[in-house]
Structure 1
Amino acid sequence: MATIREGNKAALVVVDVQVGVVNEAWDAARIIGNIAHVVERARAENVPVLWVQHTDEELPTDSPQWQWVPELVPAADEPRIHKQFNSSFEQTSLAEELAVREVSHIVLAGAATNWCIRATAYAALERGYDLTLISDGHTTGTIELESGTTIEAAAIVKELNIAMQWLSYPGRTNNTARAEQIDFAQPGGAQ
């Protein structure tokens, strides 16, 4: 059973909006703009912004594709968490950074929807956090299967948004909200 997080402090967690992750992602310019807007709002409301950055064979540390997109620049005092697995919690300092800030409510944005965003969303809920997924603040690429079947990126995004509205965990609130509707003071996050 998860430890339910006490209180109502939010943090914005931005995951993997890196050049090599979003360079071919669906509607990337709009999604990045939406994330940038929420980052500005979080900073204006003194809500912590935590940046999670992936490293692997395709995203070697310090390479051009590993860098954050130019529209999103972490502030000097905002934590940068480095990961090597899909979940932002696995073998990282994310849980410790959230605990220091007494966070109970995670507002989540980034890429890629079907991998790191999904894994981080489920991991947050399983660890007892309230969760708001920014419905127009995450993206991925289209998947082409060996069978010739194509799963369109927009459908992947839509499916995770639906799942986050319908999942049910005891003692936790989860939902989605558009970037313009995010309410950091409200678990479930919509104004």
Structure 2
Amino acid sequence: MATRTGSKTVLLVVDVQAGVVASAWQRDRVVANVAVAVDRARAAGVPIVWVQHNDDELRRDTPEWQWVPELKPLESESRIHKQFNSSFEETPLLSLLEHHGVSHIVLAGAASNWCIRATAYAALERGFDLTLVEDAHTTGDMELEPGRLVAAQSIVEDLNAVMRWISYPGRKSGVVHAAELSFGSPAVAA
């Protein structure tokens, strides 16, 4: 059980922006799975928080900064703008979640090895339970040096394994497939 007060769940959709996922591994499948998570959250009345990155390489209001066309945040849904990998760093996210009594975060988005990983750890470190939608996050291949490549699929699989097995005192973490995401199920309920 989360160490946070409150009992609500939120879906956090991070950086599914045109420029972020343009060349991501299995982009279309992953974006479709994020859309499934969004639809299920809306149907269950679970709030959605949309997190959108901007920095020197991804400038605000450019075509690359925009959400992918398949995803449409509603006006009533919260939006957070960030400049660092973690969705919590120098943003109002923690205050927003505390105000709404959230103790459990369901996480989807991009990029798995940067903003999703940083946000997942930050959520757990701040006392939230966390469920990663294992087929609704992605990244691109990462070249460490010429001839040394870490495949995007391996990065995604690694993060899924970590979130399945990582342990924090008084908190739960886990993974779930988008098709099995039910905001009333024990796998997702805090």
Give the TM-score taking structure 1 as reference length.
Answer: 0.95
Query: Is the Cα contact below 8 Å between 1:107 and 1:133 reproduced in 2?
Result: yes
| Distance (whole Å) between structure 2 residues aligned to residue 187 and residue 61 of structure 1 | 38
Query: Is the Cα contact below 8 Å between 2:17 and 2:52 reproduced in 1?
Result: yes
Distance 1:187 1:121, change over 3 A: farther
Query: Is the Cα contact below 8 Å between 2:40 and 2:181 reproduced in 1?
Result: no
Structural mapping, 1:82-121, within 5 Å: 82-121=81-120
Secondary structure, counterpart of 2:73 in structure 1: coil
Give the drift of 1:6. Answer: 2.9
User: Alpha carbon RMSD of aligned pairs, Å?
Assistant: 1.4
What residue identity is the alignment partner of 1:135? Answer: E
The residue aligned with 2:173 is 174
Give the drift of 1:187. Answer: 6.0
The residue aligned with 2:67 is 68
Distance 1:164 1:131, change over 3 A: same
Give the TM-score taking structure 2 as reference length.
Answer: 0.95
Give the drift of 1:182. Answer: 1.7
Gapped runs of 5+ residues in structure 2? Answer: none
How many aligned residue pairs are there?
188
Structural mapping, 1:33-182, within 5 Å: 33-182=32-181
Q: Determine what percentage of the aligned residue pairs are the same residue.
A: 59
Give the drift of 1:144. Answer: 1.3
| Distance (whole Å) between structure 1 residues aligned to residue 91 and residue 185 of structure 2 | 27
Secondary structure, counterpart of 1:51 in structure 2: strand
| Distance (whole Å) between structure 1 residues aligned to residue 38 and residue 179 of structure 2 | 11
| Distance (whole Å) between structure 2 residues aligned to residue 85 and residue 69 of structure 1 | 20
What residue identity is the alignment partner of 2:5? Answer: E
What residue identity is the alignment partner of 2:45? Answer: N
Give the drift of 1:145. Answer: 1.8
Runs of 4+ in 1 over 6 A off after TM superposition: none
Give the drift of 1:162. Answer: 0.2
